[in-house]
């Protein structure tokens, strides 16, 4: 599905991911590990077509992408990718429902309303009217996952989705990711929580700093 060769990537005057190759198969669960500053988040942004400014090649579904075609990159992001960022995009002044609806374009809201209940059941948040300001840290992270899953993406990118959570909430997040993966979704996740890695069912990529 995704095959990327990064000859080099300049980030804040630092060279990252030199001669780095990653291949992600459809329906796989890929975990990216490595020390802070090694380029993990940068790699995730490249995979998700949020960062196309690198020297290399990106092959998506056997097609070499023209990374300078911003319109096409936007179309691919919108159609295929869901994102869970380290910095939450949740608006704590709004309800769970409004946060979910704000994650999609206006003309898509009727369509995703049908999928909303399934997504909320998956993440264990059933009260649409509940204000996000009263949610716990684990609940907010599950809402972030729901925002990413609401449009039923083919590929889910998660940057440290279990960071700062207790063990119970970490397991809750991982169970959601596993359920999505079992339904055929492709997961690419960054983590420092090595105890969460299941090497039998995950492809593990360790980035070493240059």
In tens, the pLDDT along 134-190 reads: 999 899 999 999 999 988 899 999 999 998 899 999 999 999 999 999 999 999 999
Return d(Cα 204, Cα 179) in angstroms, integer.
19
Return d(Cα 194, Cα 196) in angstroms, integer.
5
Alpha carbon distances (Å) from 128 to 21, 90, 100, 140, 196: 42, 14, 9, 13, 30
Alpha carbon distances (Å) from 35 to 45, 190, 191, 192: 17, 11, 10, 8
Task: Determine the structural domain holding residue 23 and report its residue range.
Answer: 2-206
Domain CATH for 116: 3.40.50.300
Question: Which residues fall within 8 angstroms of residue 82, CB to CB, at 6 or more apart?
Answer: 148, 149, 151, 153, 155, 156, 157
What is the number of structural domains in the chain? 1
What pLDDT score does 210 carry? 67
**pTM attached to this predicted model:** 0.92
Residue whose token pair is 């069912």: 201
206 beta partners: 33
Alpha carbon distances (Å) from 99 to 48, 70, 74, 93, 144: 22, 27, 22, 9, 9
Chain-centroid distance of CA 147 in Å reads 11
Residue 104: band (very low, low, confident or very high) from pLDDT cuts 50, 70, 90: confident
């Amino acid at each position: 599905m995704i095959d990327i060769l990064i000859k080099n990537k300049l980030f804040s005057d630092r060279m990252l991911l030199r001669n780095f190759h990653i291949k992600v198969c459809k329906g796989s669960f890929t975990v990216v590990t490595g020390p802070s500053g090694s380029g993990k988040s940068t790699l995730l942004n490249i995979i998700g077509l949020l960062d196309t400014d690198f020297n290399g090649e990106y092959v998506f579904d056997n097609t070499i992408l023209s990374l300078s075609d911003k319109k096409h990159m936007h179309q691919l992001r919108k159609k295929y990718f869901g994102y869970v960022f380290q910095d939450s995009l949740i608006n704590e002044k709004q309800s769970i429902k409004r946060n979910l609806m704000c994650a999609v374009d206006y003309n898509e809201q009727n369509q995703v309303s049908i999928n909303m209940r399934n997504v909320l059941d998956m993440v264990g948040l059933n009260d649409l009217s509940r204000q996000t300001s009263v949610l716990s840290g684990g609940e907010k992270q599950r809402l972030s996952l729901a925002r990413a899953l609401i449009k039923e993406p083919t590929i889910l990118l998660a940057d440290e989705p279990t960071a700062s959570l207790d063990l119970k909430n970490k397991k809750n997040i991982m169970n959601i990711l596993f359920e999505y993966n079992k339904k055929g979704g492709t997961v690419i996740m960054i983590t420092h929580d090595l105890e969460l890695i299941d090497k039998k069912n995950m492809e593990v990529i360790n980035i070493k700093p240059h």
